[in-house]
Amino acid sequence: MLAVFERIDLAAVERLLQAASEESSLELVRFDNQVQAPRTVPDASISASFRYFFEVKTVRGGVDTVQLEGHLEGLDGRFMDERLFVVTPDDEQPPDIDELGNDRVTWFSFRALSDAIDNLLADTSAQLADRETFLLRELQQLFEADGLLSQPEDTVIVAARSAYPFYQRAVAYRCQAGRSFRDGLSYFGFYSRKEIKPEIARIVGVRDNVPISNESAAALARESDPLSRRLAEAVRASLADEPDSEWTAKFFILSGPDDADTLLLDGPILHGPPNAWTQNQRYVSSEALLVARTTADLAT
């Protein structure tokens, strides 16, 4: 990335950083006419006083707060504009940066930078040389090859012949206690009757080893935590399904079909081949779900 920045016009670098970081105030070099000196007025000036550090991570969740604090010590006020840019493949700003609470730290993703490159190259007024265009496209290809632009598989889709009706009644998903799911999930979806259902629910919370009993439901309902009270409703719905047995289960508490947090697809995503798309669970990108029409459109 730095090798490309070195070889393209400085104004282009400025525009890329402004767009990727959403910081329109960035100004690497300033050109002024008729500036004021103490006793005279020179016709023009070219000035710059900035120092930018970059910390680049190529894995999600790789930001180290202690490391960033050490970098900030190197920004000692000798320059008018001092910033630490943190570049990662994360889709949202890492919480470590929020915890720092330092306005000199600016985060952006590789995807944001790639989008900024697309916008710059589409702007005919930028007047980039062919060599600069080639270098920027090569940089995007490098990001893609290294998996820095890929959509995260943040959604689990479960086989849901009985789970989908349960979700519609209890706004939750129930499975056997101890069942393993991938970390970092944000959304939950349901596959049944050769289609992924259009409601892709936001995961509100997860509880494992929950007793399915009237006593458990009553105890959860007495707790002040809203998640516990919703869990009590899911336990009661489970008791209605199997009133004569006591067991334990794992629950995902989900956003409802009409909630703003639920991703509502234009329609179900159809599955064509004779075999089931999943008989247990599969992981996909929520972004891919939003544009898919059939399961063939989803990454395998």
Which of 145, 164, 196 terminates a domain? The answer is 145
Stretch among 193-202, 225-234, 236-245, 278-287 having the lowest mean pLDDT: 236-245
Is the pLDDT at 299 greater than 70? The verdict is: no
Is the pLDDT at 300 greater than 60? The verdict is: no
pLDDT digits (tens, 9 = 90+) for 154-196: 999 999 999 999 999 999 999 999 999 988 899 999 999 999 9
How high is the pLDDT of residue 272? 87
Over range 100-120, report the average pLDDT.
Answer: 94
Which of 145, 169, 200 terminates a domain? The answer is 145
Query: Are 216 and 197 in the same domain?
Result: yes
Query: Are 231 and 195 in the same domain?
Result: yes
- Which candidate, 242, 237, 173, places its Cα nearest to that of 208? 173
**Domain-embedded: residue 253:** yes
Task: Map tokens 């070219």 to a residue.
Answer: 46
Query: Are 93 and 181 in the same domain?
Result: no
* Whether pTM exceeds 0.85: no
Query: Are 168 and 287 in the same domain?
Result: yes
How high is the pLDDT of residue 159? 94
Query: Are 182 and 293 in the same domain?
Result: yes
Query: Are 90 and 162 in the same domain?
Result: no
How high is the pLDDT of residue 129? 93
How high is the pLDDT of residue 259? 96
Stretch among 53-62, 190-199, 256-265, 291-300 having the lowest mean pLDDT: 291-300
- Which candidate, 247, 292, 256, places its Cα nearest to that of 169? 256
- The enclosing H or E element of 53 equals strand 50-56
Q: How confident is the model at residue 35 (pLDDT cuts 50, 70, 90)?
A: confident
Query: Are 172 and 240 in the same domain?
Result: yes
Per DSSP, helices labelled H in the chain are 2-7, 10-21, 65-73, 95-100, 110-122, 130-145, 163-170, 214-222, 226-241, 286-291
Distances (CA, A) of 15 to 12, 22, 82, 103, 107: 5, 10, 17, 20, 16
Domain extent for 273: 155-297
Query: Are 131 and 202 in the same domain?
Result: no
